[in-house]
């Protein structure tokens, strides 16, 4: 399907600009933006609900882009063409992309987060990770390491912020995601399903490989400053730490997530 060429005053152009910057509006419309050829490929391949796709002539500058456009046309997706300049004005990246999709949100049900990919479910809880890029990186890492789902708790960054979405590199379309403001409610839900609760902290706790990950488990990651709140800490079953070189006392939350989640994957795959 093909719509008319979009001008700078078009209602859809104004709507996309609002969706880019306004979390409340994304929630109200239940729509988020996926920018770039790779993310649009991932959205299409995953069966995401594409409301429509806006592109410029620049999409055909590469074979990959031309193939994507052909696939979108075959899928029956509503397509709107505009100029490179107008499409760039709808994005907040230094190098604007030649295509963006409006994707309808599909909030995961809690049960979906417990569908094991490696023997047992492993749920990641990212508490008050406020940088969208960091949150997106954790989502991408959790997906790559075989986690079963992720919960963003507290005043975490928006799961559907454009920078979060970009940083997931498509994992947002594969990994079940939820947001829950109350971390104690998250803990109650996980305990009701008998998950083993593990928290990462600085200190001299056991290494990630020393944890028994061959069980239903949840990994809690707190903000880089302050960690988990005390009311949550008292409910943890185990703490772990990542050993670092002398003189270094912290890792970024994204780096810590990668170290721990791939250690958990090694433990699980080693036991079959």
Pairing assessment for the beta strands 177-180 and 122-127 based on DSSP bridges? unpaired
pLDDT digits (tens, 9 = 90+) for 75-126: 999 999 999 999 999 998 778 899 999 999 998 999 999 998 888 999 999 9
Write down the mean pLDDT value for the chain: 93
CB 130, CB 165: distance < 8 Å: no
For residue 139, is pLDDT > 80?
yes
CB 174, CB 112: distance < 8 Å: no
Burial group, residue 247, by CB count within 10 angstroms (0-12, 13-18, 19+)? exposed
CATH number, domain 11-104, options 3.30.499.10, 3.30.1330.30, 3.80.10.10, 3.10.150.10 = 3.30.1330.30
* Domain regions of the chain by residue span: 11-104, 110-270
Helix, strand, or coil (residue 239):
strand
Q: What is the pLDDT of residue 1?
A: 45
Tell me the mean pLDDT in the region 131-143: 97
DSSP type of residue 32 = E
Tokens standing for 216? 């239903």
Q: What is the pLDDT of residue 4?
A: 56
In this structure, whether the domain defined by 110-270 belongs to CATH 3.50.50.60 is answered with: no
pLDDT digits (tens, 9 = 90+) for 206-232: 999 999 999 999 999 998 777 899 999
Instruction: Give phi and psi for 89, each to the nearest 5.
Output: -70, -15
Beta bridge mates, 178: 151
Tokens standing for 161? 């912020």
């Amino acid at each position: 399907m093909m719509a008319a060429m979009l001008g700078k005053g078009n209602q859809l152009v104004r709507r996309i600009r609002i969706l880019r910057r306004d979390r409340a509006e994304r929630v109200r419309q239940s729509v988020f933006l996926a920018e770039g050829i790779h993310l649009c490929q991932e959205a299409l391949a995953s069966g995401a609900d594409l409301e429509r796709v806006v592109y410029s002539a620049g999409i055909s500058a590469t074979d990959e882009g031309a193939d994507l456009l052909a696939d979108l046309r075959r899928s029956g997706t509503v397509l709107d063409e505009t100029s490179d300049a107008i499409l760039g004005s709808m994005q907040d990246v230094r190098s604007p992309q030649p295509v963006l999709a409006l994707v309808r949100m599909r909030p995961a049900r809690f049960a979906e987060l417990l569908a094991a990919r490696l023997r047992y479910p492993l749920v990641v809880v990212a508490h008050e990770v406020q940088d969208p890029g960091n949150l997106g990186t954790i989502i991408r890492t959790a997906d790559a390491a075989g986690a079963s789902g992720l919960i963003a708790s507290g005043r975490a960054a928006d799961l559907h912020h454009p920078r979060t979405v970009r940083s997931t590199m498509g994992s947002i379309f594969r990994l079940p995601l939820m947001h829950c403001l109350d971390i104690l409610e998250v803990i109650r839900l996980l305990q009701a399903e008998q998950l083993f609760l593990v928290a990462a902290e600085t200190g001299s706790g056991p290494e990630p490989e020393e944890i028994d990950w061959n069980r239903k488990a949840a990994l809690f990651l707190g903000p880089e400053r302050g960690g988990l709140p005390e009311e949550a800490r008292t409910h943890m079953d185990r703490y772990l730490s990542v050993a670092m070189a002398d003189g270094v006392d912290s890792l970024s939350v994204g780096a810590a997530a990668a170290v721990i989640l791939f250690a958990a994957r090694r433990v699980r795959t080693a036991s079959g």
